[in-house]
Amino acid sequence: MNWQRLYAIFLKELRQMRRDRITLAMIVVIPVMQLVLFGYAINLNLRHLPAGIADQAGNAASRTVVMDMLATGVISPVARANTPEQLMDLLRRGDISVGVVIPPDFERRLNEGREAIQVLVDGSDTVVQSAAIQLARMPLTQASASRTEPISVVSFYNPERRSAVNIVPGLIGVILTMTMVLFTAVAIVRERERGNMELLIATPVSRAELMVGKVLPYAGIGLVQTSVILLLGLWLFQVPIRGSVWEVYVAAVLLILANLTLGLLISTRAQSQFQAMQMTFFVFLPSILLSGFMFPFAGMPQVVQWLAEALPLTHFLRLIRGIMLRGADLTEMWREVLALLVFTALMMTLAILRFRKRLD
Amino acid sequence: MNSGQGPAIQARGLSKQFGTLRAVDNVDLTVPRGHVYGFLGPNGSGKSTTIRMLCGLLTPSAGEIQVLGLNVPEEAEALRLRIGYMTQKFSLFEDLTVRENLEFLAAVQGLPRQQARERIDQLIDQYHFADRQKQLAGTMSGGQKQRLALAGAVINEPELLFLDEPTSAVDPESRRDFWEKLFDLADLGTTILVSTHYMDEAERCHRIAILDRGVLVADGAPGALTRDLAGRCVEVVAAQPRRAQQVLVNFPGVLSVAQIGNSLRVLAQAKEDLSATLSGALQQAGLEASVHQAEPNLEDVFVAATRGQTRDGAGSDAA
Ligand SMILES: Nc1ncnc2c1ncn2[C@@H]1O[C@H](COP(=O)(O)OP(=O)(O)OP(=O)(O)O)[C@@H](O)[C@H]1O
Ligand SMILES: [Mg+2]
Q: What is the pLDDT of residues B184-230, one digit of tens each?
A: 999 999 999 999 999 999 999 999 999 999 999 999 999 999 998 88
Task: Give domain status of residue B91, yes or no.
Answer: yes
Using 50, 70 and 90 to split pLDDT, how confident is the model at B59?
A: very high
A340 or A116: which carries more pLDDT confidence?
A340
Ligand 1 contacts CB of residue B49 (under 6 A):
yes
pLDDT, residue A143, reads 42
SS3 state at B7: coil
Question: Is residue A153 over pLDDT 70?
Answer: no
| Band of pLDDT at residue A47, cut at 50, 70 and 90 | low
Q: What is the CA radius of gyration of chain B?
A: 22
Residue B138 sits at the chain A interface (C-beta within 8 Å): no
Per-residue model confidence (pLDDT) at position B319: 32
Q: What is the dihedral of CA A121, A125, A127, A130, to 10 degrees?
A: 30
Q: Is cis: bond before B112, omega within 30 of 0?
A: no
Which of B94, B67, B63 minimizes the C-alpha distance to B79? B67
Amino acid at B89: K
* Residue to mutate (ligand 1; options B22, B25, B40, B45; most atoms within 8 A of CB): B45
- Please report the pLDDT score of residue B124 as a whole number: 96
Q: Which residue has the higher pLDDT, B246 or A146?
A: B246
Reported as a single tens digit per residue, the pLDDT across A194-217 is: 999 999 999 999 988 998 999 999
B275 domain residue, yes or no: yes
Determine the structural domain holding residue B262 and report its residue range.
226-314
State how far the Cα of B160 lies from the Cα of B34, in Å rounded to an integer: 9
**Distance (Å, whole) CA B277 – CA A156:** 108
Q: How confident is the model at residue A134 (pLDDT cuts 50, 70, 90)?
A: low
Residue A20 C-beta-side C-alpha neighbours within 13 Å: 17
- pLDDT value at position A149? 38
Q: Tell the CATH superfamily of the A49-144 domain.
A: Periplasmic binding protein-like II (3.40.190.10)
Phi, psi of A90, deg, nearest 5 = -60, -40
The secondary structure of residue B316, as a DSSP letter, is -
- The secondary structure of residue A333, as a DSSP letter, is G
Buried b (16+ CB within 10 A) or exposed e, B67-85: bbbbebbebbebbbebbbb
Query: Is the residue at B147 inside a domain?
Result: yes
Task: Verify whether ligand 1 is closer than 6 Å to residue B47 (CB atom).
Answer: yes
Give pLDDT, residue A148: 37
Residue A152 pLDDT level (bands cut at 50, 70, 90): very low
Among candidate residues B72, B57, B58, B75, the one with its CA nearest the CA of residue B11: B72
The shortest CB-CB distance from B108 to any of A194, A196, A204 is to: A204
pLDDT for the residue A147:
40
Residues of A in contact with B55 (CB under 8 A): 202
User: How far from A201 is each of A102, A262, B46, CA to CA, in Å?
Assistant: 77, 21, 20
pLDDT of residue A84: 86
The ligand with the least distance to the CA atom of B87 is 2
A15/B contact by beta carbon, under 8 A: yes
pLDDT confidence bin for B238, thresholds 50/70/90 = confident
Identify the band that residue B272 occupies on the pLDDT scale cut at 50, 70 and 90: confident
Task: Judge whether B212 and B39 are in contact, CB under 8 Å.
Answer: no
Residues B156 and B177 both lie in one domain: yes
A199/B87 Cβ within 8 A? yes
Query: Is A95 in the B-facing interface, judged by CB distances under 8 Å?
Result: no
Residue A161 predicted with pLDDT over 80: no
- Listed in sequence order, the DSSP H helices in B193-240 are 199-204, 222-228
Mark whether B164 and B230 lie in a shared domain: no
Is residue B235 located within the same domain as residue B139?
Answer: no
* R_g (Cα) of chain A, nearest Å: 27
Residues 6+ away with beta carbon under 8 Å from B219: B29, B207, B208, B209, B210, B314, B315, B316, B317
Do B152 and B266 share a structural domain?
A: no
Same domain membership, residue B145 and residue B29: yes
In CATH, what number is assigned to the domain containing residue B142? Answer: 3.40.50.300
Mean model confidence pLDDT for chain B:
90
Number of structural domains, chain B? 2
pLDDT number for residue B65 = 96
Contacts of B123 by beta carbon, 8 Å cutoff, 6+ apart: B102, B129, B151, B154, B155
Given a cut of 70, whether residue B1 has pLDDT beyond it is: no
pLDDT at B151 over 90: yes
Distance from the B135 Cα atom to the nearest Cα atom in chain A, whole angstroms: 13
Contact flag A202-B57 (C-beta cutoff 8 Å) = yes
Given B81, B96, B100, which is nearest A204 (Cβ)? B81
User: Which range has the worst mean pLDDT, A136-145, B176-185, B242-251?
Assistant: A136-145
What residue type is assigned to position A81 of the chain? Answer: A
The H or E element containing residue A102 is strand A98-102
Which residue among B195, B219, B243 closes a domain? B219
Based on the domain organization, do B157 and B214 belong to the same domain? Answer: yes
pLDDT value of position A46: 61
| pLDDT for position B200 | 92
Calculate how close chain A gets to B106, using CA atoms only, in Å.
9
**pTM score:** 0.81
pLDDT of residue A293: 83
Shortest CA gap A8–chain B (Å) = 6
Query: Is B314's pLDDT higher than 60?
Result: no
Residue B273 placed within a domain: yes
Question: Within a domain: residue B122?
Answer: yes
B139 and B242 together in one domain? no
| Residue A139's pLDDT band (cuts 50, 70, 90) | low
Q: Is the pLDDT of residue B316 over 60?
A: no
Amino acid at B202: A
Regarding whether B249 and B184 lie in a shared domain, the answer is no
Intervals of CATH 3.40.190.10 along chain A: 49-144
Mean pLDDT, rounded, for A241-248: 91
Mean pLDDT (whole number) for B261-276: 85
Q: Which residues of A touch B81 (CB under 8 A)?
A: 204
Whether residue B73 is predicted with pLDDT greater than 50 in this model: the reply is yes
B4 domain-assigned: no
Are the CB atoms for B117 and B140 separated by under 8 Å?
A: no
What does the pLDDT average to over B290-319?
Answer: 69
> What's the mean pLDDT in A181-185?
90
Asked if pLDDT for residue A146 goes beyond 90, the answer is: no
The enclosing H or E element of B143 equals helix B142-153
- Both B157 and B262 in a single domain? no
Phi and psi angles of residue B97, each rounded to the nearest 5 degrees, phi first = -80, 170
In the predicted model, what is the mean pLDDT of chain A? 84
Q: Provide the shortest C-alpha distance from residue B4 to chain A (in Å).
A: 22
Q: A156 versus A327: which is more confidently predicted?
A: A327
- Predicted ipTM? 0.85
Convert A159-197 into a string of H (helix), E (strand) and C (coil): CCCCHHHHHHHHHHHHHHHHHHHHHHHHHHHHHHHHCHH
pLDDT at B145 (0 to 100): 95
Residues, CB within 5 angstroms of ligand 2 (ion): B 47-48, 88
Q: Is A202 on the interface with B (CB under 8 A)?
A: yes
Overall average pLDDT of the A234-263 stretch: 92
With beta carbons less than 8 A apart as the criterion, state whether A325 and A304 touch: no
**Interstrand relation of B9-18 and A49-55 (parallel, antiparallel or unpaired):** unpaired
Q: At B263, is the secondary structure helix, strand, or coil?
A: strand
Greater confidence, B263 or A147?
A: B263
User: Which of A4, A19, A195 shows the shortest C-beta gap to B89?
Assistant: A195
- Please answer whether residues B12 and B216 qualify as being in contact, where contact means their C-beta atoms are separated by less than 8 angstroms: no
Counting every residue, how long is chain A? 360
DSSP structure class, residue A37 = I
By C-alpha distance, which of A305, A315, A306 is closest to A337?
Answer: A315
Q: Which of A106-110, B56-60, B281-285 has the lowest mean pLDDT?
A: A106-110
pLDDT band at A115 (very low <50, low <70, confident <90, very high): confident
Q: For residue B311, what pLDDT band results from cuts at 50, 70 and 90?
A: very low
- Domain boundary among the residues B172, B203, B219 is at B219
Q: Is B81 on the interface with A (CB under 8 A)?
A: yes
Residue B1, in any domain of the structure: no
Residues of A in contact with B109 (CB under 8 A): 203-204
Highest mean pLDDT among A59-63, A69-73, A311-315: A311-315
3-state secondary structure (DSSP) of residue A7: helix
The residue among B198, B219, B240 that closes a domain is: B219
- Sign, CA dihedral A346-A349-A353-A355, equals positive
